[in-house]
Each structure stands twice: as C-alpha cells, then as structure tokens.
Amino acid sequence: MTRSRFFHPSPRRQSGASLLEVLIAVLIMGIGLLGIAALQTTALRNSQSSLERSQAVIQTYAILDTLRASRAEALGELYNTVGWMCTPPVGASVIVTDQASWINAMKTTMGLPGDNTTCGNIACVTLSGLCTVSVRWDDSRAAEAGAGGVQAGSTTRQVQTVVRL
C-alpha cells in the first residue's frame, strides 16, 4: 500500500473559517468604500471653490474690459462704487447698465441671484490711472471641507485686480 505524501484535511476541521474570512473582507471593503465616498465629497467641494475663484477672476477682467472701452469715464471716476455693491444699481445710463450687468453676471456665476454675499467694488484714481476691481463672495462650502486659506469662522473670499488703464 502506498501512502499519499500530501495531507488533505477533512472538511470538518475547516468549518466556519471561510465565513469568518468573508466577514472580515466585507468589513475592510466597507471601510474602504466609506473612505472613497468621503474623498469624493471633499474633491467636489474643493472643485466648486476653485470654480468660484476662477469665475471671480473672470468677472474682474470682464468689468476691466468695460472700463478700458469707456476709459475717459473710468478715469473720471464715474464707474467707481461707494464701497461694496451687492445689489445691481437701477438706472438707464450706460454706466449704471454696465455695473448692473456686471453684478448680475457675478451673482449668476458665483452665487444666487437674490443673495447679498456676492459683491463687487470698483475704484479708479484719476491722477495715477490705476483701477482696482474687487469681487467678494461666500465660500462656505469650501470652509466646511477645511480648504486652505479659509480661516476658522470666515467663509468670505475676495479677489482683487489692480491695473493701469
């Protein structure tokens, strides 16, 4: 009689071991999937914040193009706002229409049309020819994600562009 060199364990000795392995594998996979979901949420928040920063820069350049087109009025400080302009001005003049279009475009791309957190500021100086355009908006979604640059308790972001006309 020849004996087999390989030992084959009987099925009775292995009972329950595969079930435990499957449960541990499912637990590890579940924790991994929760981590992936949290990572995706953070990426979406930061992506939205990045989009709003890009839109703020685009909006500063948009009004600067308008100021360049009406250079005499801009250097005459007719486009200047008194502080932050958060609601579109009302009027029929070209300057008021340009400012209202700018504020409405900002609210459409960066905030809600009825909010008062998306604001703009224009300050041109006649003697130096320097124009400062600032845009301010609420970035609370990025603050929830702990994005860099947002201080604790502060959800307001601001972009400022200074040019010589």
pLDDT at 134 over 90: yes
**pLDDT, tens digit, for every residue of 52-103?**
899 999 999 999 999 999 999 999 999 999 899 999 999 889 999 999 999 9
With beta carbons less than 8 A apart as the criterion, state whether 107 and 81 touch: no
Rg (CA), the chain: 30
**pLDDT, tens digit, for every residue of 21-46?**
889 999 999 999 999 999 998 898 88
d(CA 43, CA 40): 5
Tokens of 153: 């308790």
Band of residue 112 on the pLDDT scale cut at 50, 70, 90: low
With beta carbons less than 8 A apart as the criterion, state whether 97 and 63 touch: no
Residues in the chain: 165
pTM above 0.75, yes or no: no
Which residue bears the tokens 């957190």?
A: 117
